[in-house]
């Protein structure tokens, strides 16, 4: 059934509609979760049964990585060495995703007015924005913006900024997320022993690039609004710390409970200005930070399992690809929406922050 927006004002402003008209993705080599445990992480974790249960029970069956730890153990690498590897591998992966998104939208790179690059897994200057703008053939007048170190939710602020640009300028925008989490396998703890926080991080994350093209008044998914909510006194629950040996994930077991306390209010705040309720939303692109995260959203918003299947499928086959993940879910979801139907994208990350986007199929 098609649900149409009921004459509400557009909080995001006036101007042409900002529409996701193209989506493109790219992945490095495929890894099997069971084989990764058997051939690398089992030995690294000393055969620990709890670690094994976590690693093989995290909802990931396959994922992608630029570094296969069975062939190349980067856990002892310096941060500088990891950043050099990021520069080498992120550029071709991002180029593939951006090229695919432009082709999907039927747009020439020369017509892009704003290029947004999102990544929290590597940095260089000149960065991917400059390198890829040149390789793609963008105009020298194209604006560029880099969003770094926001984490898993960063695609939505990128999307919102690009949508504002499209509405204000009437020009297309390209948003690219590139994440190479496999570069940040951490050293074994001093003195041995298990670090279950790192077991979770090493079990969940995969590498990917995902891009969206936003165009004025096109067919596709209109970005009606984006919003964010940050839970108070939650800064230490999820962290992404720059260390001498890459970036280290801090992940508290309290994250699902804190998310459970805020997701309904945050979603309602997104929908209310459009006179929409939860039951009016046809599609849900939920960032699958882990199986429990998806469970919590499902429970608190009263969604049936079919509504979160696209998120669980991405977790199963791709893992958690940080900022790129919600766009991967959106790509899977978009063909299932009726014209005029609303959809919600949501992602979660450090802060503890929830970012949401309200979309409508045109």
Query: What is the pLDDT, as a whole number, of residue 11?
Result: 52
Q: What is the pLDDT of residues 44-80, one digit of tens each?
A: 988 899 999 999 999 999 999 999 999 999 999 999 9
Partners of 142 in the beta sheet?
Answer: none
* Whole-number pLDDT of residue 195: 85
Which structure tokens are listed for 288? Answer: 């699958």
Taking only the tens place, the pLDDT of each residue in 151-193 is 999 999 999 999 999 999 999 999 999 999 999 999 988 766 6
Token code pair at residue 33: 């979760």
Interatomic CA distance for residues 302 and 312, integer angstroms: 16
* CATH 3.40.47.10 assigned to 23-216: yes
User: How far apart, in Å, do the first and last CA atoms of the chain sit?
Assistant: 15
Q: Is 355 considered catalytic here?
A: no
- Residues 311, 346: Cα–Cα separation, whole Å: 11
Residue closest to 356 by CA, chosen among 8, 121, 12 = 12
Q: Report how far residue 33's alpha carbon sits from residue 26's, in angstroms, rounded to the nearest whole number.
A: 20
Q: Which residues of the chain have pLDDT under 50?
A: 1-10
3-class secondary structure, 116: strand
Specify whether the CB–CB gap between 134 and 95 falls below 8 A: no
What are the residue ranges spanned by the domains of the chain? 23-216, 219-361
- Please determine whether the domains at 23-216 and 219-361 fall in the same fold group of CATH: yes
DSSP secondary structure letter of residue 337: P
Q: What is the pLDDT of residue 13?
A: 61
What is the distance between the alpha carbons of residues 337 and 255, in angstroms, rounded to a whole number?
Answer: 30
pLDDT at 14: 74
Q: Which pLDDT belongs to residue 12?
A: 56
Task: Tell me what pLDDT residue 46 has.
Answer: 87
Catalytic residue among 120, 152, 321, 355: 152
**Around Cβ 318, how many Cβ atoms within 10 Å?**
25
Q: 226 forms bridges with which residues in the sheet? A: 357
Tell me the C-alpha distance between 190 and 216, whole Å.
54
* CA gap 98, 193 in Å, rounded: 42
* pLDDT score, position 9: 38
CATH superfamily of 219-361: Thiolase/Chalcone synthase (3.40.47.10)
3-state secondary structure of 346: strand
């Amino acid at each position: 059934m098609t649900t149409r927006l009921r004459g509400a004002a557009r909080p995001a402003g006036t101007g042409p509609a900002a529409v996701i008209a193209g989506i493109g993705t790219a992945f490095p080599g495929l890894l099997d979760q069971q084989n990764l445990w058997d051939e690398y992480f089992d030995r690294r974790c000393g055969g620990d049964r709890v670690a094994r249960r976590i690693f093989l029970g995290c909802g990931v069956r396959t994922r992608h990585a630029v570094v296969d730890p069975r062939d190349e153990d980067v856990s002892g690498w310096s941060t500088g060495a990891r950043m050099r590897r990021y520069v080498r591998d992120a550029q071709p992966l991002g180029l593939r995703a951006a090229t695919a998104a432009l082709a999907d939208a039927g747009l020439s790179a020369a017509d892009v007015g704003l290029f947004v690059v999102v990544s929290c897994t590597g940095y260089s200057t000149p960065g991917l924005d400059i390198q890829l703008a040149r390789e793609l053939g963008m105009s020298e007048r194209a604006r560029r913006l880099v969003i770094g170190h926001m984490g898993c939710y960063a695609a939505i602020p990128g999307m919102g900024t690009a949508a504002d640009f499209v509405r204000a300028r009437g020009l297309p925008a390209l948003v690219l997320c590139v994440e190479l989490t496999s570069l940040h396998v951490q050293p074994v703890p001093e003195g041995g022993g298990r670090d279950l926080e790192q077991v979770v991080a090493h079990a969940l994350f995969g590498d990917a690039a995902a891009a969206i093209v936003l165009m004025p008044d096109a067919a596709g998914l209109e970005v009606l609004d984006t919003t964010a909510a940050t839970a108070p006194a939650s800064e230490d629950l999820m962290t992404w710390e720059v260390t001498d040996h890459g970036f280290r994930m801090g992940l508290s077991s309290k994250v699902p409970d804190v998310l459970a306390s805020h997701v309904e209010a945050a979603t309602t705040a997104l929908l209310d200005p459009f006179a929409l309720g939860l039951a009016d939303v046809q599609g849900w692109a939920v960032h699958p930070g882990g199986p429990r995260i998806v469970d919590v959203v499902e429970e608190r918003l009263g969604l049936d399992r079919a509504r979160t299947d696209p998120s669980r499928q991405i977790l199963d086959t791709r893992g958690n690809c940080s900022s790129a993940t919600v766009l991967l879910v959106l790509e899977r979801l978009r063909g299932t929406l009726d014209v005029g139907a609303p959809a919600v994208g949501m992602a979660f990350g450090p802060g503890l922050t929830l970012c949401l986007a309200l979309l409508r199929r045109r």
